[in-house]
Amino acid sequence: MLIGDRTQLRRLEKLGFRPEEFDEIFARSGGPGGQNVNKVSTAVTLRHRGSGLAVTAQDSRSQYRNRQLALERLISLLERRREDERNAIRAARERARRQHSPRPAALKREIREAKQRRAAVKRTRQRVASPD
């Protein structure tokens, strides 16, 4: 069972995830903490079964606090991923709109004038006909 406050669980529900979709794996932490980290499994790895995303928290000497931290990090990761997907869809839609929109008249005129200038430069390079 996931340990999180109400706001975290609401954020999960808003994203369309249920607490049953997550696995918590406990292991011994490394780093400072002395005898406590050597004998107690305080590190928490939280994994979402559907996407395979996983985060590990071993910041605290408390397993409870690490569970909260891992849940917060995973929710943030899922929210960021969802926002990136939305932005990609929005960008693709905007790109398609720009590609299929007609060129403005001023741009057409500018392109035509540039081509005419280039043609005039090339005409000056032609061989001069002899007056025979």
Within a domain: 73:
yes
Split into its structural domains, the chain has a count of 1
Within a domain: 114:
no
Query: CATH code at 25?
Result: 3.30.160.20
Residue 4 CA to residue 8 CA, distance in Å, equals: 6
Q: Which domain holds residue 52?
A: 6-100
Whole-structure pTM over 0.95, yes or no?
Answer: no
* pLDDT tens for the 132 residues of the chain, in order: 677 778 888 888 888 888 888 888 888 877 666 676 677 888 899 998 888 889 999 888 888 888 899 999 999 999 999 999 999 999 999 999 999 999 999 999 999 999 999 999 999 998 877 776
Quote the strand ranges of 12-124, DSSP E.
22-27, 43-48, 54-57
Within a domain: 22:
yes
Within a domain: 25:
yes
Within a domain: 106:
no
9 HSE (CA, 13 A, CB side): 8
